[in-house]
Amino acid sequence: MSPLIDSHLHVWERERHPQPWISPAMSAIDRDFPPATAVRQLADAGVDGCVVVQCVNELAETVDLLADTEHLAAVRGVVGWVDLAGDLPAQVSALRAGPGGARLVGVRHVTFADPDPAWLQRPDVGRGLTALGEAGLTFDVLVAHHQLAAAADVVRRHPGTSFVLDHLGKVPMTSTELVTWARGLTAVAECPNVTLKVSGVVTEDRWDAWSVERLRPVVDHALALFGADRLMFGSDWPVVELAGGYRRWLEAYRELTDHLTPAERDAVDGGNAVRVYGLA
């Protein structure tokens, strides 16, 4: 049986790295979540390990994430940030040479928050995505649901790079645009170099009213498109605290995937994360 790996977890200490995206409505996460707290959360939930993912588009946060988690066995990898339009080999080399650098497994950019709505499609970013593949690193795609079609076009143009689509493609659970999301996700799924994270979906719904029944159609759609060999479990902790917390989401995830075969469950639970991110 494969270990249960949380492929998407965050930590932050705001004195060092402010999180300006946290709004007054997010009181449940309006505090610090240092790495030690994350490790305790994983142990309490019976989760074997995790991948820590960046929150802000700055290199300094990645340097600190790598250093802070270097001696935490539960942290199997870090998805950080680099300037994809800059000298990517030099940035990656410096990160890998620093404390915890061996745990760098991928890169992410908070794309939907970028001032340039076409950031992901820029030629200089495209060169960085190609260099990521050459460096053996993945790229986590974080886009709004209406950007999925454009993301699929970018992914198709970089077959040598492994992409991971976060949060089921940001399902618009409370809007009337589920058809737009479904079509966009279908376009992304046609690219064999993309894996999808089953994460971040409960906070796209009403935080106090989501249910397994409401989530099942979108998770089933993702399973039908990607198959169990291209999905991975993620919590999006501590953001998931806005919608009931880690344990409640983990229980829902278990229910949503209870029809899979043991081999399929092993893959989604952790085997795919180990393979895609190259976790030790």
The neighbour count for residue 248, using CB atoms within 10 Å, is: 14
Please count the other Cβ atoms lying within 10 Å of the Cβ belonging to residue 208. Answer: 8
Instruction: Tell me how many domains the chain contains.
Output: 1
CATH code at position 142: 3.20.20.140
Q: Give the C-alpha separation, 183 to 170, whole Å.
A: 13
**If we measure between CA atoms, which residue out of 37, 39, 40 comes closest to residue 75?**
39
Structure tokens at 110: 């908070």
- Tell me, yes or no, if the pTM score tops 0.85: yes
**pLDDT tens for the chain, residues 1 to 280:** 779 999 999 999 999 999 999 999 999 999 999 999 999 999 999 999 999 999 999 999 999 999 999 999 999 999 999 999 999 999 999 999 999 999 999 999 999 888 999 999 999 999 999 999 999 999 999 999 999 999 999 999 999 999 999 999 999 999 888 999 999 999 999 999 999 999 999 999 999 999 999 999 999 999 999 999 999 999 999 999 999 999 999 999 999 999 999 999 999 999 999 999 999 8
Domain region containing 76: 5-277
Which stretches within the chain are classed as H helix?
A: 35-45, 59-68, 88-97, 123-134, 148-156, 178-189, 212-226, 246-256, 262-266, 272-277
Counting every residue written for the chain, the total comes to 280
Classified as helix, coil or strand, 198 is strand
* Residue owning tokens 């993301």: 151
